[in-house]
Amino acid sequence: MLSPDSFRTARWIRTINLVLQAILFLTLFSGLNYLARNHSWRKDLTAHQRYSLSPETKSYLLNLKRPVAIVVTLTENDDSADIAQAYRDLKGLLREYSFVTENNPNSKIDVKFIDVYQERRSADQLGIDQPNIVMLICGEQRQSLNLGELYGVKDREKTDFRGEQAITAAILSVSNPSKKKIYFLTGHGELRPDDVDPARGLSALSNELQMRNFDVEYLQISTARTVPEDADLVIAAAPQGRYDAFEQEQLREYLNKREGRLIVMLAPGIPHGLDDLLYDWGVLVDDVVIYDTDPNSFADNGDLIVWNLFPHPITQTLIDFKIPLRLGLSRSVRPDPGRVVGSGLQVVSLAATSTSAWGEVNYRQRQVPEFNLGVDLKGLPNMPPANRLSVVVASEKVQTKNNLPFTVKNGQLVVIGTDDIVANYRLAIAANQNLFLNAVNWAIDRDTKLNIPTRPIERFQLSLSQAELTKLRYSLIFALPLAAALLGIFVYWSRRN
């Protein structure tokens, strides 16, 4: 029998005590983990709720019907500070998306960060080969976002983080089983999305549209006899001949009666047969070729450089980043100064030349272009854009319905006065691609902003004089080591006594 005063009894008591402590320790942490997993709560203490999703986003996610995968191809250790910062911003934001949907496996948001160069097998399985994008995948639907869509920019400096707006909108888009359908007109030598020719093909544009969850189809009105009912947008990409009266009437009916959307690219010097339709929408297309003597307005190869952009959802990104359009031969496309005011028709110029540009009327004559007063076209001081020639115009009809206190869009039109702005060899120009894709989004109402607040980017600047910098330098060199030495001496003295 063990004596309570024996060493053997003491060892057994100590062993049992240690085992019980270990059991209680494991039980405590197991209980805490259970409570944290099943009864957790979060509180965002940041000033702008930087780490919280808006109630609107949470509502959409809780009612999501299909799972969505979000694949980010940014890397944290990228040489670019902007990409590394975007990686950190996205990582914190997307963690919240996953957290909201983690208890609903049928509509879960699955987030993956991959390096397309080092993780080739994973990237190939997902069908992704582009770095620095955010790809959203839901079944067969997919849509990509680039860095320009995640931040607000002013004077080339980021002002706020708009990742939640962009990602929530993209989730709603890809989770919708039906795709927006874009029809490219054919039958008149138009540029085609299946053509890989550098100058006359649109295959690169077709890839960009498909990555954004658009369905691309062809339409020959003379054969189909009408614009299909499922057409969300119709594009006339640089016709090389006239549309006849019947085709023009079908497009007019599509725009006016069916609240359609149309983007037209028109090469100079080629008759297109849409004059009456464009006139109805307050747009004049002049039979001229634009020339400019300003050295900042043309490139070495003769391309027209367009710096003057006007605020609009289609051009705002270009204005923020201060990047110009680069166009080939262009014609003047301008708002009709004689259009009826107050008819609900809103026509605005989006891009215009410098004040030194003119529209050459006699461009067919093989001679050195020279402005002739009274013959060639020149911007007028009393007609917007003042003293400039417009090259891109947007027109839309808005009206009130049933006496409601707001207006609704009733058809939209974008006219671009050049033919190859998004041809394969020009689509790599960031401004050209951005303007055209923004025009597509605006035309089919994808530019509508959700009621989600942006997150301002806070910057702190420490201003020190030269004397203060000198004091700081000597403090770091001498004060910190001296403090450590004094602390060591105090500890040594304490132990000795």
Task: Give the global pTM.
Answer: 0.70
Contacting residues for 377 by C-beta, under 8 A, at least 6 apart: 286, 288, 332, 358, 359, 361, 389
Assigned domain for 77 exists: yes
Q: What percent of the chain stands above pLDDT 90?
A: 37
Average pLDDT of the segment spanning 274-278:
93
Q: Is there a single domain that holds both residue 152 and residue 73?
A: yes
Q: Is there a single domain that holds both residue 167 and residue 84?
A: yes
At 105, which CATH number? 3.40.30.10
Q: Is there a single domain that holds both residue 147 and residue 215?
A: no
Final residue in a domain of this structure, among 175, 204, 222:
175
Give the pLDDT confidence score for residue 405 in this predicted structure: 45
Q: Is there a single domain that holds both residue 191 and residue 134?
A: no
User: With bands split at pLDDT 50, 70 and 90, how would you rate the model's confidence at 41?
Assistant: low
At 187, which CATH number? 3.40.50
| pLDDT tens figures, 285-302 | 999 999 999 999 988 888
Q: Is there a single domain that holds both residue 105 and residue 162?
A: yes
Give the pLDDT confidence score for residue 127 in this predicted structure: 85
Assigned domain for 2 exists: no
Assigned domain for 374 exists: yes
Taking 90 as the threshold, does the pLDDT of residue 413 lie above it? yes
Final residue in a domain of this structure, among 122, 153, 175:
175
Assigned domain for 317 exists: yes
Q: Is there a single domain that holds both residue 148 and residue 215?
A: no
Assigned domain for 279 exists: yes
Assigned domain for 36 exists: no
Assigned domain for 366 exists: yes
Give the pLDDT confidence score for residue 139 in this predicted structure: 85
Dist. CA 481–CA 222, nearest whole Å: 86
Give the pLDDT confidence score for residue 49 in this predicted structure: 56
User: With bands split at pLDDT 50, 70 and 90, how would you rate the model's confidence at 407?
Assistant: very low
Give the pLDDT confidence score for residue 470 in this predicted structure: 83
Taking 60 as the threshold, does the pLDDT of residue 408 lie above it? no
Q: Is there a single domain that holds both residue 325 and residue 243?
A: yes
Taking 90 as the threshold, does the pLDDT of residue 369 lie above it? no
Q: Give the chain's domain count.
A: 2
Taking 70 as the threshold, does the pLDDT of residue 318 lie above it? yes
Assigned domain for 13 exists: no
Give the pLDDT confidence score for residue 208 in this predicted structure: 84
Q: Is there a single domain that holds both residue 97 and residue 226?
A: no
Q: Is there a single domain that holds both residue 248 and residue 152?
A: no
Q: Is there a single domain that holds both residue 352 and residue 431?
A: yes
Q: Whole-number mean pLDDT of the chain?
A: 84
Which residue range forms the structural domain that includes residue 400?
A: 180-443
| pLDDT tens figures, 440-488 | 989 987 554 455 666 666 655 556 677 877 887 888 788 878 888 888 8
Final residue in a domain of this structure, among 140, 175, 210:
175
Q: Is there a single domain that holds both residue 213 and residue 279?
A: yes
User: Which of 350, 376, 344 has its CA nearest to residue 361?
Assistant: 376
Q: Is there a single domain that holds both residue 272 and residue 338?
A: yes
Taking 50 as the threshold, does the pLDDT of residue 406 lie above it? no
